[in-house]
């Protein structure tokens, strides 16, 4: 049994095969030059959706890392300020022990320094003003005037995590949240009280009370410093984790999106052979004809 | 016994028959590359014998028919499958052209820009005092709106292109159906079935072409005439010698585009949804269903973002301590207080002139939302009006910025949770996946149909196509037959000469 083949059939079939080979070659050329396996969503819809998911996750993690950076922009200087305040308090404690060596000028300088620390700014906002960040939280006076508020500034990192980026001035410098200026644990009041005690050596109870207050302030500042340090450590850990996670995601995404060069190069080589063979066959088929043998 | 004259006549029939058959071979060779041509075969039959006593002497040969070698059922199958193939190819081409942009998974895609917009709120939440970050947020919002609108416009352009193509395709269809009906007339007038091969071949070639343009069903009547209906059966294009024209009615279709009607005398019937395959069916499908569906998804996405952001934004306070206004506006004016959505001009199909956001015809929900979407001009002019604070009077308050940023993660990402019902990233992911799947499906289907049509065409060619080797072989055979007949006549001529001129000398 033989299958009758019309003269145009071979041509039509070969032409279609040739076109498909050329289409594959063109597509693989794009894959090689761009490095992307997927030239359009129709190449692999499932992978396209996965790539989008990976992109979203990477972008969200990158944003979370940036948010953490923003939080650290306030937490680090806040901790530095608290550390400086601790140093000042330690000096005050020394002065309260060896009181005779204390000068009024030094105590005034320490108080001014503490006031300056309490009004520290970072990236355009007062660090210890609560959310009232545009106004200096402490104004000099006896007692000092507290102009901030007790609001926490919470920064969302991602869908599940957020961090408080501030400690309020009352918590740091007035002895605790909600504490009012002039109370014994007010750091500025403590300097004033120490100055009064030192100028009144006949009343050792005043000095003892001032010293005790400084101990309480010292403890409070240490607690705040630990809190700030803990937050920063958490953020640094989160950044590290998210960076590693992003690297993994990028790697996974790459397996979906990137061109498999050995595979594509092999396909290109095979298609080039196929194209060459098809062209050769088409040319030969056109030549072989009974009419050529008729005289 | 037949005389010499009878023998001469016998030889003559041989000459005539071989020459006629050679003519058929010549016709086949001449049409080897003619689209739709069906090879012909000369039917040679020996003439009736002449009785002479107990003996019967032949009287030569006659060409009784020139037969086209065709399989009409195969033809009808090819018409049907050709329409499906061209429909799938057209859908693939139409969708593939916009797929890369619509389903961009990169940094300039819709998904990335929507996410970037919400991250603008996150950036602002870190430093709500910063006017630079407020401006940055507005730029990101503008980027998102532009991205949505450019994709929407791309879809609109494709729909308009399809609409234009529908009009020109209808003209082509009418031209073909008119010619086919004329050829039907010639086929119906055949002296015997299949006698008018050329009319049938021309009709086949035209019907092949018609099938690429429009989905059709073809039936062959008793007299060989074609009856052609639309593939859904909703209208007749050709019936015998009559052709029924299609025409377009501008503005009568969906979204003010043209509808396709079939003229039946003085009346017309709307067949827009009755054309399923072929280029015309595919263009209508792209225009009215596929691309429109993606526009609806973008409208819904824009509505979800606009409504939820507006509702949250109005809960906050700007840098001056004033309660927030709506962040997004429609181009037509302020947002609808009841729905939180930007206003729309009344959609044309809505006679009541009411915005149809979530009631009435579902196909009209949020229609035109993307085109209407704009950032409140007052906020663009004065970024301090971005309501980042949760309470009035504290410049560092970022509570509302946090809440706005968190909208990207919530499943209730629309007004009352009903617009989208899932996070924006999921909605855009579904869109990308859907576009990709459709492109792949139509590509696969177009390829499969192309293979099927090719196989059917090869099958038809194996029966009806011209093979030059075969024709050369036939030509040699007929040439030899002609030469032998001529030789026979020459011999009879010599015998006659012998009898008339040489006998008795």
B129 contact A CB<8A: yes
For the cut 80, the answer to whether the pLDDT of residue B418 exceeds it is no
- Give the pLDDT of residue B265: 81
The full DSSP string for A8-40 is HHHHHHHHHHHHHHHHHHHHHHHHHHH-BS-SS
Average pLDDT over residues A228-252: 95
At residue A48, the 3 state secondary structure works out as helix
More confident residue, B129 or B342: B129
For the cut 50, the answer to whether the pLDDT of residue B345 exceeds it is no
- Give the pLDDT of residue B354: 25
- Give the pLDDT of residue A133: 92
Q: Nearest Cα to A163, choosing from A174, A175, A152?
A: A152
More confident residue, A3 or A35: A35
- Give the pLDDT of residue B349: 33
More confident residue, B343 or A45: A45
Q: pLDDT-based confidence at B356, cuts 50/70/90?
A: very low
Instruction: Give how far the C-alpha of residue B384 lies from the chain's centroid of Cα atoms, to the nearest Å.
Output: 52
Question: And the tokens for A253?
Answer: 């995404």
Distance (Å, whole) CA B405 – CA B313: 11
Average pLDDT over residues B22-39: 93
- Give the pLDDT of residue A33: 95
Distance (Å, whole) CA A64 – CA A70: 10
Q: pLDDT-based confidence at A242, cuts 50/70/90?
A: very high
Positive or negative, the Cα torsion across A167, A169, A170, A172? positive
Q: What are phi and psi of A45, to 5 degrees?
A: -60, -40
Strand ranges (E), B154-251: 216-220, 226-230, 236-239, 242-243, 246-249
Residue pair B369/B299 in contact by the 8 Å Cβ criterion: yes
Per residue, the 3-state secondary structure of chain A, as one string, reads CCCCCCHHHHHHHHHHHHHHHHHHHHHHHHHHHHCECCCCHHHCHHHHHHHHHHHHHHHHHHHHHHHHHHHHHHHHHHHHHHHHHHHHHHHHHHHHHCHHHCCHHHHHHHHHHHHHHHCCEECCEECCCCCCCCCCCEECCCCCEECCCCCCCEEECCCCCEEECCCCHHHHHCCCCCCCCCCCCCHHHHHHHHHHHHCCCCCHHHHHHHHHHHHHHHHHHHHHHHHHHHHHHHHHHHHHHHHHHHHHHHHHHHHHHECCHHHHHHHHHHHHHHHHHHHHHHHHHHHCCHHHHCC
Q: Kindly report the pTM of this predicted structure.
A: 0.83
More confident residue, A73 or B339: A73
More confident residue, B41 or B356: B41
Distance (Å, whole) CA B313 – CA B134: 14
The full DSSP string for B102-151 is HT--STTSHHHHHHHHHHHHHHHHH-TT-HHHHHHHHHHHHHHHHHHHHH
**In angstroms, how far is the first alpha carbon of chain A from the final one?**
30
Q: Nearest Cα to B491, choosing from B3, B105, B11?
A: B11
Q: What are phi and psi of B335, to 5 degrees?
A: -75, 165
For the cut 90, the answer to whether the pLDDT of residue B246 exceeds it is yes
At residue A175, the 3 state secondary structure works out as coil
- Give the pLDDT of residue B352: 28
- What's the gap in Å between the CA of A63 and the closest CA on chain B? 7
Interface touch A41/B112, C-beta < 8 Å = no
Q: What are phi and psi of B250, to 5 degrees?
A: -60, 135
B-chain residues within 8 Å CB-CB of A40? 96, 99-100, 103, 436, 439
B234 contact A CB<8A: no
B-chain residues within 8 Å CB-CB of A162? 402
* Cα angle for residues B418, B423, B424 (degrees, 5° grid): 100
Which of B116, B122, B470 lies nearest to residue A156, judging by beta carbons? B122
For the cut 90, the answer to whether the pLDDT of residue A124 exceeds it is no
Q: What is the CA radius of gyration of chain B?
A: 37
Which of B105, B429, B466 lies nearest to residue A7, judging by beta carbons? B466
Under 8 Å CB-to-CB from B70, ≥6 apart: which residues? B38, B194, B200, B463, B464
Average pLDDT score over chain A: 91
- Give the pLDDT of residue B341: 56
Residues 394-413 (B) with a CB less than 8 A from some CB of A: 394-399, 402, 405-406, 409
The DSSP symbol for B397 reads: -
**pLDDT tens, position by position, B265-295:** 888 899 999 999 999 999 999 999 999 999 9
A-chain residues within 8 Å CB-CB of B294? none
Which of B393, B429, B438 lies nearest to residue A53, judging by beta carbons? B429
Among A110-124, B257-271, B298-312, name the one with the lowest average pLDDT. Answer: B298-312
Which of A63, A131, A294 lies nearest to residue B472, judging by beta carbons? A294
Interface touch A41/B461, C-beta < 8 Å = no
- What's the gap in Å between the CA of B422 and the closest CA on chain A? 14
Length of chain A equals 295
* Mutation target among B108, B396, B409, B458 for the A interface, most CBs of A within 10 A: B396
A-chain residues within 8 Å CB-CB of B428? 52
Average pLDDT over residues B420-431: 79
For the cut 50, the answer to whether the pLDDT of residue B350 exceeds it is no
Average pLDDT over residues A181-201: 91
Interface touch B433/A49, C-beta < 8 Å = yes
B36 contact A CB<8A: no
- Give the pLDDT of residue B336: 57
- What's the gap in Å between the CA of A22 and the closest CA on chain B? 15
Q: pLDDT-based confidence at A198, cuts 50/70/90?
A: confident
Interface touch B396/A73, C-beta < 8 Å = no
For the cut 70, the answer to whether the pLDDT of residue B348 exceeds it is no
Average pLDDT over residues B183-194: 90
Length of chain B equals 505
- Give the pLDDT of residue B143: 95
Q: Nearest Cα to B25, choosing from B480, B484, B467?
A: B467
- Give the pLDDT of residue B251: 74
For the cut 70, the answer to whether the pLDDT of residue B357 exceeds it is no
- Give the pLDDT of residue B411: 64
Distance (Å, whole) CA A66 – CA A72: 10
- What's the gap in Å between the CA of B137 and the closest CA on chain A? 14
Distance (Å, whole) CA B473 – CA B2: 34
- Give the pLDDT of residue B421: 63
Average pLDDT over residues B315-336: 78
Instruction: Give how far the C-alpha of residue B13 lies from the chain's centroid of Cα atoms, to the nearest Å.
Output: 55
């Amino acid at each position: 049994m033989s299958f009758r083949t019309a003269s145009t059939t071979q041509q039509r079939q070969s032409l279609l095969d040739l076109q498909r080979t050329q289409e594959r070659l063109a597509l693989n050329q794009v894959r090689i030059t761009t490095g992307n396996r997927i030239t359009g969503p129709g190449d692999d819809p499932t992978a396209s959706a996965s790539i989008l998911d990976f992109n979203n996750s990477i972008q969200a993690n990158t944003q979370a890392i940036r948010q953490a950076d923003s939080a650290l922009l306030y937490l680090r200087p806040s901790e530095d300020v608290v550390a400086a305040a601790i140093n000042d308090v330690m000096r005050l404690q020394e002065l309260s022990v060896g009181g005779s060596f204390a000068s009024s000028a030094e105590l005034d300088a320490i108080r001014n320094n503490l006031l300056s620390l309490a009004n520290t700014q970072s990236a355009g906002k007062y660090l210890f003003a609560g959310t009232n960040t545009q106004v200096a939280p402490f104004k000099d006076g006896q007692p000092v005037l507290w102009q901030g508020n007790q609001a926490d500034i919470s920064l969302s990192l991602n869908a599940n995590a957020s961090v408080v980026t501030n400690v309020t001035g009352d918590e740091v410098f007035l002895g605790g949240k909600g504490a009012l200026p002039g109370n014994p644990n007010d750091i500025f009041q403590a300097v004033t009280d120490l100055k009064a005690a030192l100028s009144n050596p006949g009343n050792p109870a005043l000095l003892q009370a001032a010293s005790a207050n400084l101990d309480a302030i010292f403890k409070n500042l240490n607690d705040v410093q630990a809190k700030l340090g803990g937050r920063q450590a958490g953020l640094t850990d989160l950044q590290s984790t998210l960076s590693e996670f992003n690297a993994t995601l990028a790697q996974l995404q790459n397996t979906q999106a990137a061109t498999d060069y050995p595979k594509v190069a092999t396909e290109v080589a095979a298609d080039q052979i196929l194209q060459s063979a098809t062209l050769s066959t088409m040319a030969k088929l056109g030549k072989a004809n009974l009419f050529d043998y008729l005289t | 016994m037949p005389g010499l004259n009878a023998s001469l006549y016998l030889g003559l029939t041989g000459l005539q028959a071989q020459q006629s058959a050679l003519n058929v071979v010549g016709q086949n060779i001449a049409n080897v590359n003619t689209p739709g041509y069906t090879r012909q075969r000369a039917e040679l039959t020996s003439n009736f014998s002449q009785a002479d006593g107990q003996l019967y002497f032949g009287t030569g040969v006659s060409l009784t028919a020139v037969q086209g070698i065709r399989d009409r059922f195969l033809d009808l199958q090819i018409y049907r499958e050709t329409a499906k193939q061209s429909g799938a190819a057209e859908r693939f081409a139409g969708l593939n052209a916009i797929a890369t942009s619509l389903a961009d998974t990169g940094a300039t895609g819709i998904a990335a820009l929507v996410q970037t917009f919400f991250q603008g709120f996150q950036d602002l939440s870190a430093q709500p005092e910063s006017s630079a970050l407020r401006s940055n947020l507005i730029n990101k919002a503008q980027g998102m709106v532009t991205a949505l609108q450019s994709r929407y416009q791309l879809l609109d352009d494709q729909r308009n292109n399809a609409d234009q193509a529908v009009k020109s395709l209808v003209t082509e269809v009418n031209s073909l159906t008119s010619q086919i009906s004329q050829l039907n007339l010639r086929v119906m007038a055949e002296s015997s079935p299949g006698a008018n091969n050329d009319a049938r071949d021309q009709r086949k070639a035209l019907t092949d072409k018609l099938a690429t343009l429009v989905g059709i069903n073809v039936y062959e009547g008793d007299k060989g005439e074609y009856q052609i209906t639309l593939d859904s059966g909703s209208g007749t294009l050709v019936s015998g010698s009559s052709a029924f024209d299609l025409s377009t009615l501008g503005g009568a279709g969906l979204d003010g585009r043209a509808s396709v009607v079939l003229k039946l005398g003085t009346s017309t019937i709307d067949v827009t949804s009755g054309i399923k395959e072929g280029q015309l069916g595919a263009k209508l499908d792209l225009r009215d269903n596929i691309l429109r569906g993606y526009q609806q998804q973008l409208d819904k996405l824009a509505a979800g973002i606009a409504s939820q952001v507006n509702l949250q934004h109005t809960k906050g306070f700007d840098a001056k301590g004033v309660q927030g206004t709506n962040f997004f506006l429609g181009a037509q004016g302020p947002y609808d207080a009841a729905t939180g959505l930007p206003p729309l001009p009344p959609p044309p199909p809505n006679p009541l002139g009411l915005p149809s956001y979530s009631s009435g015809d579902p196909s009209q929900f949020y229609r035109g939302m993307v085109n209407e979407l704009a950032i409140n001009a007052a906020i663009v002019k004065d970024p301090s009006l971005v309501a980042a604070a949760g309470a009035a009077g504290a410049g560092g308050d970022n509570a509302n910025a946090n809440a706005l940023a968190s909208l990207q993660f919530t499943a209730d990402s629309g007004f009352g949770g009903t617009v989208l019902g899932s996070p924006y990233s999921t909605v855009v992911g579904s869109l990308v996946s859907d576009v990709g799947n459709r492109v792949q499906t139509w590509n696969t289907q177009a390829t499969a149909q192309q293979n099927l049509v090719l196989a059917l065409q090869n099958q038809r060619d194996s029966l009806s196509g011209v093979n030059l080797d075969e024709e050369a072989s036939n030509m040699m055979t007929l040439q030899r037959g002609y030469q032998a007949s001529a030789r026979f006549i020459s011999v009879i001529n010599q015998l006659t000469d012998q009898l008339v001129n040489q006998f008795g000398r």
